[in-house]
């Protein structure tokens, strides 16, 4: 098999698990993240994975990294952009600097990567760009002023790009995970319903990318179906339900 996938956020969490999943299936994996030492550990233990360190907040670095990947592999089939950051302690108040940082990584970092591959896929007239968002992007939630907003922005962006890249026969998909046990979710101070492993997430994503045709790959269904229902409720009912579920209190 001569298939190639570029995965960002590949040093840990969902990105790492998916890199290992595709490598095991015989794909060549270009793995990117800021933490070069962790990328090297993955690539040194798997001949199908190559390390391409990257800071997604640096637009020039994104362009340079993709050029390196093209030079090595010539043909790229899938780009899977899963970079993200989250600090629940700083989400309890409106921390403008923190919100800017979250948007810079989660939204603009992903956008930098998409821009880097835009002309390549348009000229190729085929391929697949997959964007990792979150169920937190469905509707506003308490203590999620930065993270939720960044994911909601990604949802809207992915829907727009679905049309824009579709003209060039390029598939765009959105990945909406529920609670997955990663170093990022380990920061959460609340009990996470339907918590799943990164291997579970990688399996669902792999099947969705390889065998599915839907725009959105969401999981676990026990949670996402509930939240999709909440999306269509009128505002007053949604707010009341969330207040009860989160034991919301006025101060």
Length of the chain: 251
CA torsion angle for 201, 204, 209, 211 (degrees, to 10)? 170
Catalytic residue from among 73, 120, 138, 147: 147
Catalytic site includes residue 147:
yes
Per-residue pLDDT of the chain (251 residues; tens, 9 = 90+): 689 999 999 999 999 999 999 999 999 999 999 999 999 999 999 999 999 999 999 999 999 999 999 999 999 999 999 988 877 777 778 889 989 999 999 999 999 999 999 999 999 999 999 999 999 999 998 888 899 999 999 999 999 999 999 999 999 999 999 988 877 777 776 777 889 999 999 999 999 999 999 999 999 999 999 999 999 999 999 999 998 887 766 76
Q: How many helices (H) and strands (E) does the chain have?
A: 9, 7
What are the strands of the beta sheet with 216-219, ordered from one edge?
A: 49-51, 28-32, 4-8, 78-81, 128-132, 171-177, 216-219
- Please name each of the domains of the chain with its CATH number: 4-245 (3.40.50.720)
Contact between 96 and 132 (Cβ < 8 Å) = no
What local confidence, expressed as pLDDT, does residue 194 receive? 87
Q: What is the pLDDT of residue 182?
A: 79
């Amino acid at each position: 098999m001569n298939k190639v996938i570029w995965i960002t956020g590949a040093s840990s969490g969902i990105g790492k698990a998916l890199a290992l999943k595709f490598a095991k299936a015989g794909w060549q994996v270009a793995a990117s993240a800021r933490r070069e030492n962790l990328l090297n550990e993955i690539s040194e233990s798997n001949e199908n994975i190559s390390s391409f360190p990257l800071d997604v907040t640096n637009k020039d670095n994104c362009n340079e990294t993709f050029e390196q990947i093209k030079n090595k592999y010539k043909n790229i089939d899938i780009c899977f952009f899963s970079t993200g950051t989250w600090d629940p302690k700083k989400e309890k108040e409106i921390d403008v600097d923190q919100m800017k940082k979250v948007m810079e990584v989660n939204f603009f970092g992903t956008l930098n990567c998409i821009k880097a591959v835009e002309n390549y896929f348009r000229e190729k007239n085929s391929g697949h760009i997959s964007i990792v968002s979150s169920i937190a992007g469905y509707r506003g939630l308490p203590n999620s002023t930065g993270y939720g907003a960044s994911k909601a922005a990604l949802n809207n962006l992915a829907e727009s790009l679905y049309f824009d890249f579709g003209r060039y026969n390029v598939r765009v998909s959105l990945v909406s995970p529920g609670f997955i046990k990663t170093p990022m979710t380990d920061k959460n101070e609340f009990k996470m319903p339907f918590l799943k492993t990164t291997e579970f997430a990688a399996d669902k994503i792999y099947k969705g990318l390889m065998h599915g045709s839907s725009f959105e790959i969401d999981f676990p269904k026990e949670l996402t179906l509930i939240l999709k229902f909440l999306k269509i409720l009128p505002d007053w009912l949604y707010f009341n339900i969330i207040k009860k579920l989160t034991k919301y209190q006025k101060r």
